Amino acid sequence: MSVTKEFLQKIKDGQLVVGVIGLGYVGLPLAEAFAAQNVKVLGYDISQNRVDELNAGKSGMRHIADSKVAKMLQQGLFRATTNVADLREADALLIAVPTPLDKYHRPDLSYVISTCETIKDHLRRGQLVVLESTTYPGTTREVMQPILEKSGLIAGEDFNLAYSPEREDPGNPDFETATIPKVIGADNEGGRAMAKAVYDKIVKTVIVSNARTAEATKLVENIYRWINIAAVNEMKIIFEKMDIDIWEVIDAAKTKPFGFHAFYPGPGVGGHCIRIDPYYLTWKAREHGLATHFIELAGEVNTKMPRRIISRLLEEMSLRHQKALGGSKVLLCGLAYKKNIDDMRESPSLELIHILKEHGAHVSYYDPWIPQIPVTREHPELAGMESIEWTDAALKKFDAVVIATDHSNVAYEDLCKQIPLIIDTRNTLRDHHEKYGDKIVKA
């Protein structure tokens, strides 16, 4: 019997075991979705602390309740491990590891490569390997397949490979893993059939012709957002000079029932996907002698936004209060890359703090979901900074505040009452302008 038929029969018999490699913002929701359908899940992570946390019933993420992890454990549908040999128990290995950029904005596939090198010695006949991490077209076949075939097994004969990009949106109450369609691509019929059978357990699936097409689909989804965010960021700058409120313009424009999708400006772009994915295509395009003009122009606009925000703060402090930024006390409100989550991957807030310190400001931050800054790749020097205590006495000490993230559980009127200058990058204080408009600057 072929490996595909054996695999599909195992699913039909209810014996499928899914292995999830990388138990972070993508891997854990994936594990929970399978367990919710009574599929046994084996989670693998290189961090012993992360494995111990999960095996103790703690999710470690604000948007995933501890009770969900505890339930999976109690039902015997989940366990986490650091022992790579345990992955031989799994029929499908779903890889959800980081794919960042290096300091030159080139793809860093070191996590994908090290994962493949790690599992190749434990790969067995009949398994399916699926990459979920965002990457450039060709990764599955050109990077992963040669490494995995060092096992002596042949892709398409002894095991199958597929690509199915993650579509997580942490903190979005309208969607979860089980309600978001999954794109699947594989370079042979067996791989597509096996991957579809696995993901059909938890989601509606969309099949495309091959892995390269699926890899490109993920990039297109996020490049679309990257370019449109850059467009509204640039329009905000233009409209400021014309004394036009960009947020009012967008709210009016989105009443058109067709042909328009609202994007909003901000202090920069954060999150693992949108900040990184466009450069994966840029790098791959150069390999083919092509330039990605729109993508690079959008990058130029978006990456300049943090410095523009601080420049605006400097101007307003000088004009309104005759104060220099150097030596002033500045509060950054919101560290997460978007509202109501504890995820600070690639957050522009870190760059804002860095720039403020460059100007000699005394900087503090407040974020109700992030009590302390962990070690980060781009700004390790900020590790250990702690969120301030939210009291009137503490707030009165600041000369200015920059609202970088519009969390819902912040008493913003306290800022208006206690701090003389507020740089609002998210239009968070739209309802406070009548009373405190002399303090608020939209930027």
Catalytic amino acids?
273
Residues 84, 87: Cα–Cα separation, whole Å: 6
Residue 368 tokens read as 């109700």
Amino acid code (one letter) for 394:
A
Residue 327 tokens read as 């030596």
Residues 107, 276: Cα–Cα separation, whole Å: 9
- What is the CB-side half-sphere exposure of residue 296 using CA atoms within 13 A? 9
Residue 95 tokens read as 């890889």
Strand partners, 155: 159
Which residues lie closer than 8 Å to 369 by C-beta, 6 or more apart? 62, 336, 340, 341, 342, 407
Amino acid code (one letter) for 417:
K
